[in-house]
């Protein structure tokens, strides 16, 4: 695998040296624990129906470093959404979902769909 060309340094950001044997990991879950002096982020890969989740990386940072990471993530997510559109979280209803849903009287939940007969 070839190494991508080095980017010019960004003002205030140190250059990074990527080891040749660095392995990228995929994580879809993070558990966060903390003490007064550090924060521990356990990144894991959770597969449906498989427990426990497999931790693939543990990152220990100072609270200040985590706060700066939070800021950087917030700024980068805003840039991402400006470019590619809003990231919808599962279960989030949009304004259109509220405006165009079927009406039902207040205090009465919507009727459940009819049950299908069992298939033989």
Q: For residue 94, tell me if it sits in a domain.
A: yes
Q: For residue 63, tell me if it sits in a domain.
A: yes
Segments forming the whole domain that contains residue 67 = 29-99
What DSSP letter does each residue of 12-25 carry, written as one string? T----PPPTT----
The CA distance from 42 to 29, in Å, is 8
Number of domains the chain is built from: 1
The CA distance from 35 to 48, in Å, is 31
Q: For residue 4, tell me if it sits in a domain.
A: no
Q: For residue 46, tell me if it sits in a domain.
A: yes
Q: For residue 65, tell me if it sits in a domain.
A: yes
Q: For residue 83, tell me if it sits in a domain.
A: yes
pTM of the model: 0.63
Q: For residue 20, tell me if it sits in a domain.
A: no
| Average pLDDT, integer, range 16-29 | 93
Q: For residue 5, tell me if it sits in a domain.
A: no
Cβ atoms 53, 45 nearer than 8 A: yes
Nearest by Cα to 66 from 96, 95, 40 = 40
Instruction: Express each pLDDT in 46-97 by its tens digit.
Output: 998 888 999 999 999 999 999 999 999 999 999 999 999 999 888 877 777 7
């Amino acid at each position: 695998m070839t190494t991508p060309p080095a980017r010019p340094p960004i003002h205030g950001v140190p250059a990074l040296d990527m080891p040749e044997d660095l392995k990228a990991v995929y994580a879809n879950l993070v558990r966060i624990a903390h003490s007064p002096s550090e924060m521990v982020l356990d990144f894991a890969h959770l597969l449906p129906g498989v427990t426990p989740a497999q931790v693939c990386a543990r990152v220990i940072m100072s609270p200040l470093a985590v706060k700066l990471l939070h800021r950087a993530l917030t700024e980068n997510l805003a840039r991402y959404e400006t470019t590619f559109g809003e990231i919808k979280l599962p279960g989030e209803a949009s304004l259109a979902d509220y405006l165009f849903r079927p009406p039902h009287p207040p205090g009465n939940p919507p009727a459940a769909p009819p049950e299908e007969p069992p298939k033989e």
